[in-house]
Structure 1
Amino acid sequence: MNRTRHQDIQSKQGIAVLSPPNGSLRRLWFIGTIVLICVSWSMLVFSQERENAIWNAAGTSGNVVLIRHALAPGMGDPPGFTLGDCSTQRILSEEGRVQAVKIGEYFRANGIRKARVFSSQWCRCLDTARLLDLGVVRELPILNSFFGRRELEHQQTQALRKWLAEQHLNEPLVLVSHQVNITALTGIYPASGEMVIIRRSEDGAISVIGTIKTD
């Protein structure tokens, strides 16, 4: 019985014929796989190039790196929160401390070994800033969280804009703050440890260059 006749009988008997005739489906599968690999590789290269460009911007005059504090489980702060007393605050987990160290290593791996570093006075921000190991950490109250106190949002955000407009950005500047503060300034909702790189123009206007997530 020839092949065609055999396939007809299989079809009539309800048996699926899986072998592609003359290998045509195999060739299509092979071509599709190659195309998928090429597209995936191109996307990977593009993503890496974009991240490199953002890192380059992070060390460029006129730009600022905003960092949401590293991983600190929970939301807000517990009752009895006291500024300066870390035992009353939500603090970095061990994973968060490791994450903060890694962020500092990312800076150095991308050619930024020193920076002017300012931080919210919350312990989880100060610890993140210090673990970056990029320089002396200075407290900046306008970076403090206004979570749960939205009436402070406009006032603090405007104060931060004014402060940024007054800075001489001739060296890397890193600000460690909270999600609500960074979102109010940039419109970006950063994850824990995520960096938002912004451009401050000569007239004080703020624009977002890009973001970099960290593990």
Structure 2
Amino acid sequence: MTRFIVLMLLALLALPAVADQKSAWQALREGKAFLLLRHTTAPGTGDPEGFRLGDCSTQRNLSDKGRQEAKRWGRLLTGRKVEKPRLYTSNWCRAQDTAQEMGLGAVETLSALDSFFSDPESQAAQTVELRKAIDKVPKDRPVVMVSHQVNIKALTGISPKNGEGLIIELPLADPPKVLAHIAPP
């Protein structure tokens, strides 16, 4: 009997989180929020010395696991009726590949999403540019942005794992209001 009561209490405590997630997904569909996603699994940290944007062979790239995670994100978004999203990524191959593997449409690069991991002094300026870019992006469709851990942490204070996403309320507040934290599917 005691175990039953404990389980019931735990279930009741989870109800607000489920309701909040539903409203977050609805806000995303309606353009009242956007999804900021850390690229999916790309083993390692940072990039190899001498990496070049535009040359994926010089960068840290998605693993097979990362490609599968990205495909699951595409299925999750489709299942949540996030239709024809605007997909923006950094200029890094792992971010672009994450968005492309979702299979949800055209992918557009946005330099404001670029990693500043190798240039931490640019964090403040890069974050200001990201905030401006978010404000300028058309909100006529759902917006999904794929970036990097350092960028997401600088904007929100949250350090996501590979493939984790945040649904963030629009217009962007200071600090941003995170409506939902979405684990990798």
Question: TM-score when scaled to structure 1?
Answer: 0.79
Identity of aligned residues (%): 38
Is residue 190 from structure 1 mapped to residue 160 from structure 2 by the alignment? yes
Alignment coverage as a number of residue pairs = 185
Q: 1:203 to 1:105 in 2, by over 3 A?
A: closer
After the TM superposition, which residues 115-130 of structure 1 pair with which residues of structure 2 at under 5 Å, given as runs? 115-130=85-100
Q: 1:71, 1:85 → 2: CA distance?
A: 19
* Structure 2: 5+ residue stretches without partners: none
Higher relative contact order (CA 8 A, sep 6+): 2
Displacement of 1:202 in angstroms is 8.0
Q: 1:50 to 1:207 in 2, by over 3 A?
A: closer
- 1:105 alignment partner in structure 2: 75
After the TM superposition, which residues 130-145 of structure 1 pair with which residues of structure 2 at under 5 Å, given as runs? 130-145=100-115
Q: 2:139, 2:175 → 1: CA distance?
A: 14
Decide which of 67, 70, 73 is 2:37's aligned counterpart.
Answer: 67
- 2:18 alignment partner in structure 1: 48
Q: 1:46 to 1:200 in 2, by over 3 A?
A: closer
The amino acid that maps onto 1:159 is: E
Q: 1:86 to 1:203 in 2, by over 3 A?
A: closer
The amino acid that maps onto 2:98 is: T
Q: 1:62, 1:109 → 2: CA distance?
A: 19
The amino acid that maps onto 1:129 is: A
Displacement of 1:53 in angstroms is 2.5
- 1:26 alignment partner in structure 2: none
Q: 1:115, 1:203 → 2: CA distance?
A: 22
Decide which of 132, 139, 151 is 1:169's aligned counterpart.
Answer: 139
- For the aligned residues, what is the CA RMSD? 1.9
Displacement of 1:205 in angstroms is 7.5
- 1:82 alignment partner in structure 2: 52
Residue pair 1:118, 1:140 contacting (<8 A) in 2 also = yes
The amino acid that maps onto 1:210 is: A
* Structure 1: 5+ residue stretches without partners: 1-30
Question: TM-score when scaled to structure 2?
Answer: 0.91
